[in-house]
Amino acid sequence: MKLLKNIALSDTGFVFNPGNGDSFSVNPIGLSILKDLQEGKSEDAIRNRVVEDYQTDKETIEKDLYDFLKMIEQFNLTDYHE
């Protein structure tokens, strides 16, 4: 999954999609995931990084990450062609 190229991410967690004018606020974990996606990291790499950073069980992270990725897909933040 790739984030749309023109998505603007602010360090405050403000996310702006200039393609449709939508804006969102995300917490620091969400922002770090979006930044990972913007850098082209794979879902596996993101999951491993979050597990390491937050020292919690892999199953919980996997479920939450799956939910988050589905949500940003629904919000049209991901590349349609990917």
Partner 1 sequence: MSKRKITIAVSGLNNIDSPGPGIPVIRALKDSELFEIRIIGLSYDTMEPGIYMHDLVDKTYQIPLPSAGQQSLITRLTYIHQQEKIDVLIPNFDAELFNFIKLQDMLKKMGIDTFLPTLEQFEERQKWALNTFGEKYGIKVPKSKQINSTAEIHALTHEFGYPLVVKGKFYDATVAYSPDQAMAAFNKISSKWGLPIIIQQYTPGIEVNLTGIGDGKGNLIGAVPMRKTYITDKGKAWAGIALEDETLMNIARNMLKGNKWRGGFELEMIKTDKREYYLIEINPRFPAWVYLAVGAGQNHPEALVRLALGEDVKPYESYESGKMFIRYSYDKIVDLKEFETISTLGEL
Binding-site member from 6, 12, 27, 55 for partner 1 (CB under 8 A): 6
Grouping H, G, I as helix, E, B as strand and the rest as coil, residue 38 is: helix
Does 8 sit near partner 1 (CB under 8 A)? yes
Instruction: Give the strands of the sheet with 14-16, arranged side by side.
Output: 8-9, 14-16, 23-25
Is residue 10 involved in binding partner 1 (CB under 8 A)? no
Q: Does 19 bind partner 1 (CB under 8 A)?
A: yes
Q: What are phi and psi of 23, to 5 degrees?
A: -135, 150
Which stretches of the chain bind partner 1, using CB under 8 A?
6, 8, 16, 18-21, 80
